[in-house]
Amino acid sequence: MMNGFEYAGMGMVLASSFRAAIYCRLSKDDDLDGESASIANQRDMLETYCEKQGWEVVAVYQDDGYTGLNMERPDLKRMLKAIERRQINLVITKDLSRLGRNYLQTGTLIEDFFPRHGVRYIAMNDGIDTMRDNNDIAPFKNILNEMYSKDISKKVHSSYLLKAQKGQFTGCLAPFGYRKDPEDKNHLLIDEETAPIVRRLFAWALEGHGPNYIRRRLEEEKIPCPTYWNRVRGLRNVSTKWEKKDPVNGRYIWDFTVIKDILMNPVYTGAIASQKKEYRFKIGTIGEKKPEEWIVLAEDIKIKNSPVKEKIIEILKDNGGAFEINYFMQFFDSNIVSVCKTLADNGIRVIVAGLDMDYTGKPFGPMPDLMAVAEYVTKVHAICVRCGNLAHHSHRLSDNDKLVMLGEKHDYEPICRHCFNELMKKEHQ
């Protein structure tokens, strides 16, 4: 084992042989750490340190907006490939948590991957240097980092849930056609530059055209895709696969799923939909929730569209001559009836779904008119939680008197006609 003098001397001898890579990471959770945790500050700190040590910095890798629990980060993967190609033999981070917060995977990098490839690793603020015999604390720091990340994750997601229940926007990027309010990031404003594009999409959809037709029209008229708009505005530094192949014309090619996502997003009807993805700690997003599990609250923001005047149709499926609208039809205005009738008159099988009554027991929105013009009506009933008979009503348990308030079991209960009437009598006594 070398003493401090021997180590310092050896470091001076070896300084010129190190090909250093700086790795920086910042996630949304790290916003809690303030400015000191920013990507720019991490980079400046580490470059200054390497300069003082006489190390050549051959590459800087940075993953902005990625949790430390996710080891599938683009620049981390790039760095590991460079290590495998023997282009790097020194990796330095601000602290151990920048490399990762998953103690098993981070430990594998430090204890296995780096040594096998002859890489020295330094976590500057934690005093960890794999070239020195001072790393016994590293496994414990990894565990503490994961515990901290788990605690922060709970707090962040609880905060998002609370904001969603208040009808606030919690997404990272504003939906295409909108922008975040500079004075309140949880509030959306209409973006007058891109909103006309959204109106065009819905106008074509209302004419009975599907996503494939819309995609061709967007390409023909050379309308840039949302990814391009986000990039030129400095919101996301990414490109589509078509832009990578053809930087000039690729911006005008829209992904099929992007068009469908826009057409099915209730934000364009004046509602904020949140909690649409299923999330698990350490794994992240594991899938999409069913629309009935979303939190959807009405907001006084919508991109008005003249063909539908107030609200906009959503296309979920356009396949084999069938046209399904399988999401909260009760929230649309009467214009949706004529849209569905026009589609049916043109030989398209139309399937719609929605609640026929609101929480007060009154007919809900356009549902009565839709049932009147339909060839077939199927009513699906739950079971009354009070007596076990067929449930006809969704009884709201909270005191909120807003017409639109979606919730789960703690907000509503299915009850039969008799139980509903008994409750109404008690409430009006």
For the stretch 354-389, pLDDT in tens is: 888 888 888 888 889 999 999 988 888 888 888 888
Q: Are 314 and 261 in contact (CB under 8 A)?
A: no
Examine the fold and report which residue of 268, 288, 307 is the final residue of a domain before the chain moves on.
307
Q: What confidence score (pLDDT) does residue 22 get?
A: 95
Question: Residue range 393-412: average pLDDT?
Answer: 63
**Pair (179, 138) in one structural domain:** no
Examine the fold and report which residue of 307, 337, 353 is the final residue of a domain before the chain moves on.
307
Q: What confidence score (pLDDT) does residue 307 get?
A: 38
Beta-ladder partners of 296 = 273
Q: What confidence score (pLDDT) does residue 318 get?
A: 42
- What's the full length of the chain, in residues? 429
**Pair (128, 186) in one structural domain:** no
Q: H or E stretch including 92? A: strand 90-93
Give the DSSP letter string of 277-339. Answer: EEEETTTEEEEEPPGGGSEEEE-S-----TTTTT-----SEEETTEEEE-S-GGGS-THHHHH
Examine the fold and report which residue of 127, 147, 167 is the final residue of a domain before the chain moves on.
147
Q: Are 421 and 392 in contact (CB under 8 A)?
A: no
**Pair (32, 134) in one structural domain:** yes
Question: Residue range 151-159: average pLDDT?
Answer: 61
Give the DSSP letter string of 249-270. Answer: TGGGPPPHHHHHHHHH-GGGGT
Assigned domain for 236 exists: yes
User: Measured at the alpha carbon of residue 350, what is the angle toward residues 349 and 352, in degrees to the nearest 5?
Assistant: 155
**Pair (109, 208) in one structural domain:** no
**Pair (136, 182) in one structural domain:** no
**Pair (181, 108) in one structural domain:** no
Amino acid at 13: V
Is 324 considered catalytic here? yes
Q: What confidence score (pLDDT) does residue 379 get?
A: 83
User: Measured at the alpha carbon of residue 85, what is the angle toward residues 83 and 87, in degrees to the nearest 5?
Assistant: 65
**φ, ψ for residue 257, nearest 5 deg:** -70, -30
**Pair (291, 209) in one structural domain:** yes
**Pair (109, 209) in one structural domain:** no
- Assign 53 to helix, strand or coil: helix
Q: What is the CATH number of the domain that holds 233?
A: 3.90.1750
Question: Residue range 155-184: average pLDDT?
Answer: 72
| CA–CA distance, 160 with 157 (Å, rounded to integer) | 5
User: Measured at the alpha carbon of residue 160, what is the angle toward residues 158 and 163, in degrees to the nearest 5?
Assistant: 110
Residue 152 to residues 192, 310, 329, Cα–Cα distance (Å): 36, 40, 37
Which residues have CB under 8 Å from 268's CB, separation 6+?
175, 177, 198, 202, 262, 302, 303, 305, 312
Catalytic residue, candidates 324, 375, 413, 422: 324
Question: Tell me: the pLDDT tens digits for 260-291?
Answer: 888 877 777 665 665 556 655 454 555 666 65
**Pair (9, 142) in one structural domain:** yes
Amino acid at 422: E
**Pair (130, 234) in one structural domain:** no
pLDDT at 143 over 60: no
Beta-ladder partners of 322 = 319, 349
Q: Structural domain tally of the chain? A: 3
**Pair (98, 230) in one structural domain:** no
Assigned domain for 377 exists: no
Assigned domain for 364 exists: no
Confidence of residue 308 (pLDDT cuts 50, 70, 90): very low
**Pair (119, 181) in one structural domain:** no
Task: Calculate Rg over the CA atoms of the chain.
Answer: 28
Question: Residue range 237-265: average pLDDT?
Answer: 87
Q: Contacts by 107-111 with C-beta closer than 8 Å and gap 24+?
A: 107/138, 107/139, 107/142, 110/135, 110/138
More confident residue, 208 or 12: 208
User: Which residue range forms the structural domain that includes residue 198?
Assistant: 175-307
Portion of the chain with pLDDT greater than 70, in percent: 67
Q: Are 128 and 84 in contact (CB under 8 A)?
A: no
Q: What confidence score (pLDDT) does residue 37 get?
A: 58
Q: Are 65 and 27 in contact (CB under 8 A)?
A: yes
| CA–CA distance, 168 with 161 (Å, rounded to integer) | 10
pTM: 0.41
pLDDT at 117 over 70: yes
Residue 37 to residues 66, 128, 173, Cα–Cα distance (Å): 13, 19, 21
More confident residue, 304 or 371: 371
Helix 211-220, helix 195-206: angle, nearest 10: 130
Assigned domain for 385 exists: no
Assigned domain for 332 exists: no
Closest CA to 190 of 304, 313, 303: 303
Assigned domain for 221 exists: yes
Confidence of residue 33 (pLDDT cuts 50, 70, 90): very low
Q: What confidence score (pLDDT) does residue 48 get?
A: 92
Beta-ladder partners of 64 = 26
Assigned domain for 29 exists: yes
Q: Are 368 and 353 in contact (CB under 8 A)?
A: no
Assigned domain for 352 exists: no
